[in-house]
Structure 1
Amino acid sequence: MFGYRVKKGQKVLEVDANKAIIVRRLFELRRFCRHWSLAQLAERLNREGYRTEKGKRFTKVQVKRMLNRENFYRGVYTYGQIQTNGKHPAII
């Protein structure tokens, strides 16, 4: 999941500080520019110099995936209709 990494030999997620900056920036943009499309959000991240884990430009699909995972980024784990505090640290 973008913004997290797994420690080698463990099954625990930890925050990837460099990627977490991008996640926080995306949610900040979404909060203040609610009328922007997914493509506009992706383009703004790209113009600001942010890149994906593979060093590529963000697309609207990647932006949508991150925005759809807002609860997870807030530290909440969802399984079906059940929500609980996750064991992973929150990014936003």
Structure 2
Amino acid sequence: NGFFDVIKSFLLSYDPDVRIEASGQATFAQNEAIMEQIRSLPEVKVISPYVEGKALLAMEGVQNEVVDVKGIERNSFFQLVDIEESITSGVF
């Protein structure tokens, strides 16, 4: 199905192939030595710590919503995502 493939590729363009997460707690200490080992692997394109949490989205004239927010370092994001290609309306 062509539509499914388009949606799948769009969603996967923002999701990494591998993610390392803390187990049983919200965060864990960053280990620069391990990050450097991972970064040195030829298959690794980008490595970046990220944060994730809940936020309140409030806009005038619209009901407030609780949303999930994820963020990574700006330079890492632009190495992973072609933002110009992802925008369907407006400019970045």
User: So what's the TM-score if we normalise by structure 1?
Assistant: 0.29
Instruction: Choose between structure 1 and 2 for higher RCO, CA contacts under 8 A separated by at least 6 residues.
Output: 1
Higher-Rg structure is 2
